[in-house]
Structure 1
Amino acid sequence: MSDPILIDPKALAEQAQHLAGEIRLSEMDERVSRHEFLAERQTPVSFALQGGCDKRQRLYLDLSVSAQLSLVCQRCMQPLPFALNEQARIVLFDSEEALDEAMAAEEELEGMLPEAQLDVGTLVEEQILMALPYAPCHESCHSDKLDAVNQDRPNPFAALAALKSGR
């Protein structure tokens, strides 16, 4: 794992600072770097973090994460290109109560209590994990077994229905 990129989230937001960089998948925590769906682990992931204050006077961090990942198709087990392009606005709250109230009022809100030091890599890792598909596979990937399972079979009770209607 690489050296952490530590920030003071509150200061970054208050001063509307911008931070950008790259982190390789292999340098991330093992829940990302060793994820079973990743075909290539040396891929660089770009991130940008912009601090600010919204119209409600709440401090926030806008996070953008992008990369061209190579995943493993879960049908043919061959590489599958995947464009990762995620954005998130993380609103900073001073108290647990304020965070809970805001989360209850706004379903889509992402919020957090600011720490004195926050590792940007952790934020990037979380966005990657949330963006990965449940079961990545090629659209054109054909599976004979899947076709056999989905094939219409005669209902075994159809013969009983025919006997019953014959009475």
Structure 2
Amino acid sequence: MQNKVTTLNYLKMKRLIVLLVMICGMMPLLWASDGCDQHLSPEEFRAKQKAFITEKAGLTSEEAAKFFPLYFELQDRKKQLNDEAWKLLRQGKDEKTTEAQYEEIMEGVYDARIASDRLDKTYFDKFKKILSCKKIYLVQRAEMRFHRELLKGMHKKGDGPQRRPQGKK
């Protein structure tokens, strides 16, 4: 009995970790509000993301013109994989889901993550034909900063988690 409980706890923990990783991976596709009261359309979001990354990574207009079609193609393909993983994860909400079904769900989720990582590697090779490795690094850093700024904007607007002031309980 103890072994069965441990296995179930392990599977729940794996599921939670997968969910957290998937949420973090999909930050580029979240609705952006950048601290304002209106949501951006996907096109507006991409335009802001492109401008931010171009500036922070120091891309020339020529580099940006070649890079971003590939970059957004990668984002679209990763979104498809993420959507498939979420579809699988939703199947596990049913209380009647069997252990074998959970295994199948988790295998599918991990397969989607592996496929996403392979896409990243494939596109990295394509990006190297356009940008130096240093600029690819700067793009990655700028992308993370962009998402951090979005979260800060959501927090300021009141959509994010509220923190208690230090020292008060």
Question: One fold, TM greater than 0.5?
Answer: no
- Determine which structure has the larger helix proportion and give its number: 2
TM-score band by shorter chain is under 0.3
Q: TM-score, normalised by structure 2?
A: 0.24
Alignment TM-score, normalising by the size of structure 1:
0.24
Kindly name which structure, 1 or 2, has the bigger radius of gyration based on alpha carbons: 1
Specify which structure has the higher proportion of strand: 1
